[in-house]
Amino acid sequence: MMPGDDSLHDAIDELYSADPDEFVKRRAALASQARAEGDPTSATAITALRRPTKAAWIVNRLVRADPDVAGELAELAKKLRNAQRTLDGTKLRELTQQRRKMIDKAIRQAFKLSGQTTSAASLRQEVASTLEAALADPAVAEQLDTGTLVRAAEWSGFGDATPSLSAVPPLRAASSTRHAKASAKPGAKAGGRAPETSKRAAQTESGGQARRTERIAQAEQALTEANEVLETAASAEREQDENVGLRKEQLADAARRLDEARLATRHAKAKQRDAQRRLERLSK
C-alpha span between 208 and 140 (Å, rounded) = 41
pLDDT digits 0-9 by tens, 133-177: 888 888 888 888 888 888 887 755 544 444 445 445 444 333 343
The per-residue pLDDT for 30 is 92
C-alpha span between 181 and 195 (Å, rounded) = 19
Q: Are 102 and 72 in contact (CB under 8 A)?
A: yes
Please determine, for residue 254, whether its predicted confidence score (pLDDT) is greater than 80: yes
Query: Using N-to-C axis directions, what is the helix angle for 23-36 and 196-283, rounded to 10°?
Result: 170
Q: Are 207 and 87 in contact (CB under 8 A)?
A: no
pLDDT digits 0-9 by tens, 72-112: 888 888 888 888 888 878 888 888 888 889 999 989 888 88
Dihedral-angle region of residue 191 (phi above 0 means left; psi in -120 to 50 means alpha; beta otherwise): left
C-alpha span between 136 and 153 (Å, rounded) = 11
pLDDT digits 0-9 by tens, 178-221: 344 444 444 444 444 445 556 655 656 666 676 676 677 666 66
Which residues neighbour 112 within 8 Å (Cβ) at sequence distance 6 or greater?
A: none
Q: How many residues make up the chain in this entry?
A: 284
Percent of the chain's residues with pLDDT above 90: 2
More confident residue, 51 or 118: 51
